[in-house]
Every structure is written in structure tokens, then in C-alpha cells.
Amino acid sequence: MNNPLLQSHILPPFDAIQTEHVLPAVESLLAEAREQLDKQLEGLGQVSWEKLAAPIEARGDKLNQAWAPVGHLNAVCNSEALREAYEKGRQLLTDYYTELGQNEQLFAAYKALGESAEFSSLNQAQKKTVENALRDFHLSGVDLPADKKKRYGEIQSRLSSLTNQFSNNVLDATQGWYKHIESEQQLVGLPEFAVAGAKQAAEAKKLSGWVLTLDTPVFFTVITQSENAALRKEMYQAFNTRASDQGPSEGKWDNSEVMEEIMQLRQELAGLLGFKNYSEYSIAPKMAETTPQVVDFLRDLAAKSKPHAEKDLQELKDFARSEHGIEELNAWDIPFYSEKLKLARYNISQEELRPYFPAETVIAGLFKVANQLFNIEFVDKTSEVQTWHESVKYYQIQKCGEAIAGFYFDLFAREGKRGGAWMDECRVRRSTETGLQLPVAYLVCNFNSPLGNKPSLLTHNEVTTTFHEFGHGIHHMLTKIDVAAVSGINGVAWDAVELPSQFMENFCWEREVLQFLSCHFETGEPLPEEMLNNMLAAKNFQAAMFMQRQLEFSLFDFLLHMQYGQAEFPGIQKLLDRVRDEVAVFTPPEFNRFQHSFSHIFAGGYAAGYYSYKWAEVLSADAYSAFEEAGIFDKATGQRYLSEILEKGGSQDAMELFKNFRGREPKVDALLRHSGIAA
């Protein structure tokens, strides 16, 4: 019993967890869970919440406590050995959850609980948990004949392995390429911090000169700042062909076949369960009601925004031609000349703003916003907890001096850590036999790390990302629901999940907030009035082009999962081409294989669900407009948002919660206004 994953801890014992603990822990916990379930069902008698749902929740939480740190480490400290153990453990868990979802005896017991006299006396969270469980049994194939049940299990198991392989290929392809540069001349245009970072990257590889990697912040800086068009092109090509049949690593980590098999299996799965296609299956537990409703929503928004996006692009082309003599704008020129145009028009650039946003100031500002809105305090407890890297911080959230939640903050990019930014749960709020378990979250970003005694400096985009993930974090952590299945983000319809995250982004554009969110790392000055004005004036710069990009991804994802395998399906690349013809204002070069690293839909939870970002942005923009009307730090509005949305978690339907907060159904107006494309 020396396995730390089998012991109970308030927080994961990261110092003690070793790869060799993973599989024995999973195997032992699953054997125990199966045995306990059998015993429970045998002696069940008259069903009740206490006898049925409570022990199920407790076992699920125990498994989660062991598994959450493993999944987390696999994402932030990836190694060959951990990857292998993770993959095996994930398979075992997938099989177990399939078995649970198809257990007819368990299903019958939940049905009996739903029809029992006790049901009406359960609280809202408990009722919703039972209703969700009954829905999910059907979605797990509990009603299927034995042979189809078996096939369902095989498909889930294979999908688990394929989606994992997809994201491993992306990670390997990202880290498997770098550009070694020996003459500083090649780096012309790059800001000082980026050159220093490239020097450090070269030293880490024991090379002379400089090394540029495909880590997002590095790629972003090169593509927007480098005066060297050949370098931009090379990096663009390497980045946009990752894990594909094209580009410098062509075929090496190719996801082509993985994607095809994932899609075949998803359609087969949907068919087994009686759905016309995977998109229809995907929206069954979501806010959206029908597939045409989603497609119409996306197409409608695209039609409204496209003329504005065309205008954006035309202006960029005119500018590049008249000011820089560029006749033909390539994909790798667009971000670069866009920055130049922004600078010319608004006298503002991402790089100029960066020195005003040291990570520490941004975090302090973020906490201040949360404090003013929700009356919560943040206490740094890093020295009291174990983490997985020296740069990781741990904060406790307190309300009126009492601890209510905690979170780890892992801000910087490093080797072995997946790209992007995300929030994940470590502990869920629930009442246990020994008292209340407080929620704990992982907040992960991939910013440039501090260099020497120079702090990490963020772009305003990265500031927004921090607020976004923090929004997910407080949805998880400020919940007052004590039933795990609907506490925090659990049980929230996926197309409403991006409401609290996108809601928080709005604060990064408030004059009042930017005063304390910014502080020049050398002079200590907040953003000067003129820069602030320019930055706010530039808020909607190319917003319509950005909107079309998001709609292109959303429509591609949704149509792919509707059409794959059907007579009208033209193939993955051709479908993407068609969607671009319809929605995009710029066609990327033929070698572009964006879809091969589209982890959201092939490896994450956004399959036939990428539309959720725009769908939920209607909600978040409309929710935020209530703050615009009352004052952004209006106490009553903040309290109402906290109590009607954040605290309720998944215990009620998202639409109901929204209406309770806003007093009416959502309207698209605020989103259009915020994006500068109001009709």
C-alpha cells in the first residue's frame, strides 16, 4: 500500500507519484469498484438516493482522485514511460465506464429511483443527477442487444486509443521540428525578448546561435513580427502541416489515417444508438435541439459577418500594396502586415503593449477583478503544497476568511508540456461522509517563461486567454452544489460551458480594469492614456475576419460529423475546401493541413461541438451586457451572476439559468455589437 495514488489526500502528492504507480493503482481501484458495485446491487432492496447514487458518487470520486493527477501529468510533464502507462490506464477506465453505462441492473435501479416516492423530495441537484444518468444510460447503449453492446464497447475503446494517438502525434510533430539559425540577420524584426528566448533554446540544445520552435508563443511572434518573409513562410509551413502528409516532417507523425478511422467509428457509434449521424448524437445532451438549428445558426452569423470580413481583407491588401509594394498577400504575410496596418492606423501593436503586461501584474489584476465582482480573496499557498514544476503556483480562494476552493497556476511553455491553455478539475466539490470536499482546479497556459531577471511579458491576447481559463476555473470553483455529477462544470451542457470563460474576457477591454491590469515592467507606469485609447479603438480591428475563421472551424467540424460516410460526403480535405469557399475570405495554400492538428475535435471534447464557442458567446455577450447596463462592478449584478450561473453549476438547464439571470431569453445583439458587426 505504498502507492500514493491509492492513498487519500486533500491534494495530489506530486512529489511521490511515479509512473510505475499508475497501472497498479488503476487496476486495484477498478477491481475494488467492480466488487463493490456487485455487492451494492445484490443487497439493494428498496432503492434510495443514499443506497444507490451516493455510493456510486463516492467510488467515482475515488477513481477520479487517482486518475486526475495522472491525466494532468501526462499533459504537462509528458514522457515516453508516462505516456504508455497513461494510454493503458485510459483503456481500462474506458472499458469500465462502458460497462457501467450498459449495466442493465444499475439502469433499472436508477429508473426505480426516478419513479420512486422519494424522487420528489430530492433536491434539485440530486434530481438532475438522476435525470442525466437515465439519459446517459441510453447514450451508452444500455438498450442495445448483446452483440451491439459489445460493439459499442469495442468502438469506445478503440476511439480512446485513436484520439490519444492523435494528440501524441501533434505533440511530437510540434516538438520534433525546430529552426536552427546561425546569423542574427535572419532574426530581423523579432523583439529582443524573442531573440533572447531563441538563444536560450539553442543553448538548451547545445547549439550555437539561435533556435526557433513551434511552441505557440514563438510561432506567434515570428509570424507577426519577423521582417524575414522566407523565415515566416518556413515557420508557417512547418506549423500548419504538423502531423500530416505535407511539410518538413511529411508523413512522420501523419494523422491522416487516424482521422479517417476516428470518423468511421464515430459514425458507426451514432448509428448503433439510432442517430442519423454523429452530430445528432453529439447534441443530444446539449442546449442546441436539432442539427439544422446549429448549421443555420452558424451560416446566419457567417452571412452577417462576411461582408465585413471582406472589407477587412481588402483594406489589408490595399495597405500592403500601397505602403509596402506587396502585390500578392500570402498566408504567412497576413498576420505580419495586419500588425503593420494596426500600427499605422491605431498606432498600437501587440509588441508595444507587451512590456505593460508582466504576468505577475496581470494575475494580481485578475484577482482584483474577481474580488470586486464576487467578493473573494486569493491566498498564495505555494509553499505548503507539492507541484510538478518549480514555476507552478497554488492559490487558495477564501470568502469571508473561509477557504472555499483552490487552484494550481501553470503559466509557462516548456518541453514535454502540451500547447494551448486549459482548465481541468483536480477535485470536485461534494459532500462526503467526513464533510465537504472543496473544489480544486488546474489552470494551464503556455506563455514565454521569464528570462533571467526579466519577467514574463504577455501580449494582450494572452491576457485575454488567462481571463478565459480563469472563467472556467471559477465556474468549477465557486459552485455551491454538493453533488459531484452536477457540481461546477460537471453536467453543464457543452454548448453552454464557454459562457463563464468568454464572459471574463470582456473585462480585459475595460478602461477601468486596464488601469490596474497593466504596469510597465521597468518604469512601473500603467498603460499611458493615449496607448489605452488606441488599444480600445483597435478592439474590433479585423474582428470580422477572426469571426469567419471561428465559423469556418465550427461549420467544418459540424458538417464533417453530419456528412462523413454519407453519399454527399466529399472527403475531409474537400469538405474543408467547400466550407472555406462558403465562409472564408482568404484561401490558405494547398499544403495547409490545419485539420491534422485540430485537437479540439479529434482529441478533445469538441467533436461536433466546436460551434459551442459561438453559441455560448451569444450567452456570454448578452450576460455581459447586463454589466454594461448596470456598471461593470455593480454589486447586485455580480451577486446575481454568481448565484444564478456560477454557483448553480450543472444542477439546472443552462437556458433556465440564463433566463433566471437575465430575466429573458438570450439575444444575439450584444455579440454582434461587441464584434463591431451590428446590422
Which parts of this chain interact with Zn ion (CB under 5 A)? 501
Give the contacts of 451 (CB within 8 A, at least 6 positions apart): 193, 196, 197, 200
What is the identity of the amino acid at 120? S
Smallest distance, Å, CB 473 to Zn ion? 10
> Is there a contact between 427 and 88 (Cβ–Cβ < 8 Å)?
no
Tell me whether strands 422-427 and 393-399 are parallel, antiparallel or unpaired. unpaired
The helix (H) or strand (E) run that includes residue 101 is: helix 80-101
Nearer to Zn ion, 51 or 600 (CB): 600
CB nearer to Zn ion: pick between 312 and 505: 505
Q: What whole-number distance in Å separates Cα of residue 480 and Cα of residue 637?
A: 18
Nearer to Zn ion by Cβ, of 190 and 489: the residue is 489
Residue 26 or 603: the one with the smaller Cβ distance to Zn ion is 603
Q: CB 289: neighbour CB atoms within 10 A?
A: 10
Cell matching residue 287: 442546449
Cβ-based nearer residue to Zn ion, 113 or 444:
444
Contact in structure between 74 and 140 (CB atoms under 8 Å): no
Comparing CB distances to Zn ion, the nearer of 354 and 476 is 476
C-alpha cell at 266: 464515430
* Chain centre to alpha carbon of residue 214: 20
Beta strands, E only, 129-188: 178-181
Give the other-Cβ count within 10 Å of 28's Cβ.
15
Beta strand 435-437 with 402-412 is unpaired
Dist CA 678 CA 348 (whole Å): 24
SS3 for 409?
strand
Min CB(463)–Zn ion separation in Å = 15
- Per-position DSSP letters for 112-135, written without gaps between them: HHHHSGGGGGS-HHHHHHHHHHHH
Hey, what amino acid is at 85? A
Q: Are 601 and 569 in contact (CB under 8 A)?
A: no
**Shortest CA distance to 418 belongs to which of 10, 21, 78, 69?**
78
**Of 198 and 497, which has the nearer Cβ to Zn ion?**
497
Half-sphere exposure of 265 (CA within 13 A, CB side): 21
| Cβ at position 476, least distance to Zn ion in Å | 12
> Which residues lie closer than 8 Å to 85 by C-beta, 6 or more apart?
19, 20, 22, 23, 70
d(CA 560, CA 563): 5
Indicate which residues carry an active-site annotation: 469
Nearer to Zn ion, 89 or 500 (CB): 500
- By beta carbon distance, the residue nearest Zn ion is 501
Q: How far is the CB of 501 from Zn ion (least distance, A)?
A: 4
**Residue reference for cell 477591454:** 509
